[in-house]
Amino acid sequence: MKVPPFLTAGAFLGIFLFGTLLFGTSASSQAAVLTYYYSGVGTPDAGLEVQGKATAASDGTFRSDIVASEPDEDNRYTQFNLLLNILFQREEGDPILLGDIASSSYSTRTPTPEDGLDWALRIYTAPTETSHKTWFNLRFDARNPVASAGEWGYWDMDTAFETGKNWFLNLHDGATNSLLNLSLSDVTSNPLYAAEEIGFLAFYVGSSANSKQLFNEIANIRVVLKNGDEVQVNMVPEPTLFSFCAAGGLAYALFRRKRFNSRLG
């Protein structure tokens, strides 16, 4: 059976659109909105690692799906890691340092704020030969306050200690913890920490010891470097190949129609 030309072209165009959206646009010299397709299992992209149960919505909202009294401790929390060297397309030997980060912000919403649990951010620096842990050297914990039930809260680490923000930064070196009364900009400009190579940024809710139901949402994730480069992460459900072929076919059909009409004109 002969395949209609518009379907063939549509399939190729659909695959092209898929690749463009999957890998995003260049983060160089301007903000790049990177769209990742979350299938519910595994790792959707090399620059983004997902652990635990979650659901992605078409509007880019990402929600943890943790049930009460979950027997599997690996499903008692949801976490996704941003690998900045990959997201910002850095070459080997040119890593992103802690001192390179200008700001990080995101929005969260929870239906049960009385639990006191919400998405939070951890910054892990890369391990060294003297690290206490094999997979990180320093960890900075930043926990935002919980917004009112059903309302979105916007959290910007560059305004860490404004009234009502109630941020704190906790430094963990794999052996001991230290509470730092510092904002993110204070840490990134501190010579003790600025030269630390970033391992990854982790957004998480819950823990392996959690026993509560957590349907917490997170969106509008942004990471900005001091040189002006910026990444915005948008996670949506993984589309089917048919939807891309259909979209490609429609785009091709509109293109053909436009050319046909132009000949008539």
Tens digit of each residue's pLDDT (9 = 90 or more) over 173-219 = 888 887 776 777 778 888 989 999 999 999 988 888 888 888 889 99
How confident is the model at residue 4, as a pLDDT? 52
How large is the average pLDDT for residues 43-51?
Answer: 73
Q: What is the pLDDT of residues 70-86, one digit of tens each?
A: 888 888 888 889 999 98
Whether residue 248 is predicted with pLDDT greater than 50 in this model: the reply is yes
- Six-digit token string for 2: 């002969």
Query: Alpha-carbon distance 243 to 20, whole Å?
Result: 15
User: pLDDT tens digits, residue range 153-169?
Assistant: 888 776 544 434 445 56
Q: Which residue has the higher pLDDT, 37 or 248?
A: 37
Q: Looking at the DSSP assignment, which residues form a beta bridge with residue 122?
A: 141, 202
**pLDDT score of 22:** 42
DSSP at 197 = B
The string of DSSP codes covering 72-116 is: -GGGSEEEEEE-HHHHTTPPTT-PPBGGGEEEEEEEEE-S-GGG-
pLDDT over 70 (residue 18): no
Give residue 125's pLDDT: 92
Lowest mean pLDDT among 91-95, 139-143, 235-239: 235-239
Q: How confident is the model at residue 16 (pLDDT cuts 50, 70, 90)?
A: very low
Q: What is the pLDDT of residue 194?
A: 93
Taking the alpha carbons at both ends of the chain, their separation in whole angstroms is 35
Name all domains of the chain by residue range, CATH numbers in brackets. 32-239 (2.60.120.260)
Q: What is the pTM of this model?
A: 0.74
Distance CA 7, CA 246 (A): 8
